[in-house]
């Protein structure tokens, strides 16, 4: 299962369980938000790690650079934050 398939599954679960949804949103206030988020995902049966979230955003950004006609001469200064994007999608 890919990282995005795992996030899709977590989206389904959070729509069915408002308590889970709220807990996922509250991870923003945790001392280590990504670790708290991944712990909740794993409790819900979705095997997701912080490393997967980091690499998903970087891979997406890298693929955009590669898809630019002739290659992107200037890599992006940042890459998508998969964690924040996910939380915004379940608000």
**Does residue 89 surpass a pLDDT of 90?**
yes
Give the model's pLDDT for residue 55. Answer: 82
Q: How many angstroms separate the CA atoms of 40 and 59, rounded?
A: 24
The pTM (predicted TM-score) of the whole model is 0.78
Give the model's pLDDT for residue 17. Answer: 97
For residue range 32-78, what is the model confidence (pLDDT) as tens digits? 999 999 999 999 999 999 999 888 766 666 666 666 666 665 655 55
Is the Cβ–Cβ distance between 21 and 15 less than 8 Å?
yes
Structural domain containing residue 83: 3-90
Q: Among 20, 54, 57, which residue's Cα sits nearest to residue 39? A: 20
Give the model's pLDDT for residue 58. Answer: 67
Give the model's pLDDT for residue 85. Answer: 86
**Does residue 23 surpass a pLDDT of 70?**
yes
Strands (E) located in 10-85: none
CB-count exposure of residue 74 (10 Å: 0-12, 13-18, 19+)? exposed
- For the packed helices 3-16 and 82-90, what is the interaxial angle rounded to 10 degrees? 30
Is the Cβ–Cβ distance between 50 and 35 less than 8 Å?
yes
Domain count, the chain: 1
Give the model's pLDDT for residue 15. Answer: 96
16 pLDDT tier (thresholds 50, 70, 90):
very high
């Amino acid at each position: 299962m890919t990282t995005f398939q795992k996030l899709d599954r977590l989206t389904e679960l959070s729509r069915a369980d408002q308590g889970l949804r709220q807990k996922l949103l509250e991870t923003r206030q945790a001392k280590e938000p990504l670790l708290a988020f991944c712990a909740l995902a794993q409790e819900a049966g979705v095997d997701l790690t912080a490393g997967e979230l980091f690499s998903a955003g970087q891979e997406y950004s890298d693929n955009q650079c590669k898809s630019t006609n002739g290659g992107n001469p200037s890599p992006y200064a940042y890459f998508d934050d998969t964690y924040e994007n996910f939380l915004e999608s379940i608000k």
